[in-house]
Amino acid sequence: MTPMADELKWYVAHTYSGYENTVAVSIEQAVENRNMHDLITEVTIPMETVTEITDNGPKTVERKVFPGYVLVKMIMTDETWHLVRNIRGVTGFVGAANKAIPLTDEEIAALGVEKREVVVGYNVGDSVKITDGALASFIGTVEELDTDRGKVKVVVSMFGRETPVELELDQVETI
Protein backbone atom coordinates (compact mmCIF):
# COMPACT_ATOMS: atom_id res chain seq x y z
CA MET A 1 0.00 0.00 0.00
CA THR A 2 3.01 2.32 0.43
CA PRO A 3 3.59 2.75 -3.34
CA MET A 4 -0.01 4.00 -3.63
CA ALA A 5 0.56 6.66 -0.96
CA ASP A 6 3.29 8.14 -3.17
CA GLU A 7 0.78 8.48 -6.01
CA LEU A 8 -1.69 10.52 -3.89
CA LYS A 9 -1.65 14.03 -5.32
CA TRP A 10 -3.80 17.14 -5.08
CA TYR A 11 -5.86 17.92 -8.19
CA VAL A 12 -8.05 20.95 -8.84
CA ALA A 13 -11.62 20.36 -10.04
CA HIS A 14 -13.34 23.30 -11.75
CA THR A 15 -16.98 23.79 -10.74
CA TYR A 16 -19.84 26.09 -11.53
CA SER A 17 -19.53 29.18 -9.33
CA GLY A 18 -21.46 28.69 -6.10
CA TYR A 19 -21.48 24.89 -6.44
CA GLU A 20 -18.22 24.27 -4.56
CA ASN A 21 -19.83 22.98 -1.34
CA THR A 22 -22.35 20.81 -3.23
CA VAL A 23 -19.58 19.32 -5.38
CA ALA A 24 -17.36 18.61 -2.35
CA VAL A 25 -20.21 16.84 -0.52
CA SER A 26 -21.19 14.91 -3.68
CA ILE A 27 -17.61 13.69 -4.20
CA GLU A 28 -17.39 12.57 -0.55
CA GLN A 29 -20.74 10.72 -0.86
CA ALA A 30 -19.66 9.02 -4.10
CA VAL A 31 -16.39 7.92 -2.48
CA GLU A 32 -18.36 6.56 0.49
CA ASN A 33 -20.90 4.74 -1.73
CA ARG A 34 -18.23 3.16 -3.92
CA ASN A 35 -15.83 2.48 -1.03
CA MET A 36 -12.97 4.33 -2.74
CA HIS A 37 -11.39 5.81 0.43
CA ASP A 38 -7.98 4.49 -0.61
CA LEU A 39 -8.15 6.30 -3.98
CA ILE A 40 -9.75 9.61 -2.99
CA THR A 41 -8.65 10.57 0.50
CA GLU A 42 -9.56 14.25 0.91
CA VAL A 43 -11.78 16.93 -0.61
CA THR A 44 -11.38 20.55 0.43
CA ILE A 45 -12.33 24.10 -0.47
CA PRO A 46 -9.60 26.59 0.51
CA MET A 47 -11.14 29.25 2.77
CA GLU A 48 -9.82 32.44 4.34
CA THR A 49 -11.12 34.54 7.21
CA VAL A 50 -11.68 38.14 6.19
CA THR A 51 -12.90 41.16 8.14
CA GLU A 52 -15.37 43.18 6.09
CA ILE A 53 -16.24 46.74 7.05
CA THR A 54 -20.01 47.25 6.81
CA ASP A 55 -22.42 49.99 7.87
CA ASN A 56 -22.91 48.04 11.14
CA GLY A 57 -19.16 47.91 11.79
CA PRO A 58 -16.53 45.24 11.13
CA LYS A 59 -17.77 41.71 10.44
CA THR A 60 -15.62 38.57 10.20
CA VAL A 61 -16.58 36.19 7.39
CA GLU A 62 -15.23 32.99 5.82
CA ARG A 63 -14.60 33.41 2.11
CA LYS A 64 -13.48 31.00 -0.62
CA VAL A 65 -9.91 31.67 -1.72
CA PHE A 66 -10.64 30.31 -5.22
CA PRO A 67 -14.33 30.52 -6.07
CA GLY A 68 -15.27 27.85 -8.61
CA TYR A 69 -12.59 25.36 -7.56
CA VAL A 70 -12.46 22.29 -5.28
CA LEU A 71 -9.22 20.53 -4.31
CA VAL A 72 -9.23 16.73 -4.37
CA LYS A 73 -6.42 14.55 -2.98
CA MET A 74 -6.51 11.34 -4.96
CA ILE A 75 -4.71 8.74 -7.00
CA MET A 76 -5.52 9.55 -10.63
CA THR A 77 -7.01 6.51 -12.35
CA ASP A 78 -9.67 6.24 -15.06
CA GLU A 79 -12.16 5.34 -12.34
CA THR A 80 -11.37 8.31 -10.07
CA TRP A 81 -11.19 10.70 -13.03
CA HIS A 82 -14.68 9.62 -14.16
CA LEU A 83 -16.08 9.72 -10.62
CA VAL A 84 -15.05 13.34 -10.05
CA ARG A 85 -15.66 14.47 -13.65
CA ASN A 86 -19.24 13.11 -13.62
CA ILE A 87 -20.27 14.84 -10.39
CA ARG A 88 -23.01 17.34 -11.11
CA GLY A 89 -21.52 20.85 -11.12
CA VAL A 90 -17.98 19.79 -12.11
CA THR A 91 -16.87 21.21 -15.46
CA GLY A 92 -13.48 19.49 -15.52
CA PHE A 93 -10.02 19.35 -14.01
CA VAL A 94 -7.41 22.07 -14.23
CA GLY A 95 -4.92 20.91 -16.83
CA ALA A 96 -4.59 20.35 -20.54
CA ALA A 97 -7.63 18.87 -22.39
CA ASN A 98 -8.46 15.58 -20.64
CA LYS A 99 -5.18 15.44 -18.70
CA ALA A 100 -5.45 16.71 -15.12
CA ILE A 101 -2.24 18.23 -13.78
CA PRO A 102 -1.50 17.77 -10.04
CA LEU A 103 -0.44 20.65 -7.82
CA THR A 104 3.26 20.84 -6.94
CA ASP A 105 4.48 20.60 -3.35
CA GLU A 106 5.29 24.33 -3.44
CA GLU A 107 1.75 25.19 -4.55
CA ILE A 108 0.26 23.00 -1.82
CA ALA A 109 2.45 24.67 0.81
CA ALA A 110 1.53 28.14 -0.49
CA LEU A 111 -2.17 27.30 -0.33
CA GLY A 112 -1.79 26.00 3.23
CA VAL A 113 -3.92 22.98 2.31
CA GLU A 114 -1.79 20.49 4.21
CA LYS A 115 -0.65 21.41 7.68
CA ARG A 116 2.86 20.18 8.28
CA GLU A 117 3.78 19.67 11.89
CA VAL A 118 7.03 21.41 12.76
CA VAL A 119 9.11 19.80 15.48
CA VAL A 120 11.94 21.85 16.92
CA GLY A 121 14.51 20.63 19.40
CA TYR A 122 14.58 23.80 21.47
CA ASN A 123 12.24 25.90 23.59
CA VAL A 124 12.00 29.47 24.84
CA GLY A 125 14.95 30.15 27.16
CA ASP A 126 17.28 27.57 25.56
CA SER A 127 20.74 28.52 24.33
CA VAL A 128 21.13 27.98 20.59
CA LYS A 129 23.79 28.38 17.91
CA ILE A 130 22.91 30.14 14.65
CA THR A 131 23.91 27.86 11.78
CA ASP A 132 23.04 29.93 8.72
CA GLY A 133 22.96 33.52 7.49
CA ALA A 134 24.94 36.63 8.39
CA LEU A 135 25.06 35.69 12.08
CA ALA A 136 26.24 32.09 11.56
CA SER A 137 28.18 30.71 14.57
CA PHE A 138 26.72 33.30 16.99
CA ILE A 139 25.29 31.94 20.25
CA GLY A 140 22.00 33.27 21.57
CA THR A 141 18.94 32.59 23.70
CA VAL A 142 15.51 31.73 22.26
CA GLU A 143 13.11 34.53 23.21
CA GLU A 144 10.09 33.64 21.06
CA LEU A 145 8.98 30.63 18.99
CA ASP A 146 6.39 30.91 16.20
CA THR A 147 6.03 27.51 14.54
CA ASP A 148 2.99 28.64 12.51
CA ARG A 149 5.13 31.20 10.67
CA GLY A 150 8.30 29.07 10.85
CA LYS A 151 10.18 31.77 12.77
CA VAL A 152 12.24 31.96 15.96
CA LYS A 153 13.39 35.12 17.75
CA VAL A 154 16.87 34.76 19.25
CA VAL A 155 18.58 37.33 21.47
CA VAL A 156 22.25 37.59 20.48
CA SER A 157 24.96 39.56 22.25
CA MET A 158 26.68 41.81 19.69
CA PHE A 159 29.19 44.52 20.59
CA GLY A 160 28.15 44.26 24.24
CA ARG A 161 24.44 44.74 23.45
CA GLU A 162 21.54 42.31 23.50
CA THR A 163 20.02 42.26 20.01
CA PRO A 164 16.86 40.33 19.08
CA VAL A 165 17.09 38.60 15.68
CA GLU A 166 14.26 36.86 13.82
CA LEU A 167 15.36 33.71 11.97
CA GLU A 168 13.89 30.68 10.21
CA LEU A 169 13.41 27.64 12.48
CA ASP A 170 16.09 25.68 10.59
CA GLN A 171 18.71 28.43 10.96
CA VAL A 172 19.37 27.56 14.61
CA GLU A 173 20.30 24.42 16.53
CA THR A 174 20.64 23.54 20.20
CA ILE A 175 24.04 23.64 21.79
pLDDT of residue 5: 52
Cα–Cα nearest to 39, from 7, 69, 61, 13: 7
**Mean pLDDT for each consecutive 10-residue tract of the chain (175 residues)?**
65 94 96 94 88 83 89 93 94 85 85 66 91 91 86 91 90 88
pLDDT of residue 1: 39
CB 4 within 8 A of CB 75: yes
Q: Which domains does the chain have, with CATH numbers?
A: 2-111 (3.30.70.940), 127-174 (2.30.30.30)
Query: How many helices and strands (H and E) does the chain possess?
Result: 4, 13
The Cα–Cα gap between 171 and 150 comes to 10
This prediction's pTM:
0.62
CB 36 within 8 A of CB 84: no
The Cα–Cα gap between 90 and 75 comes to 18
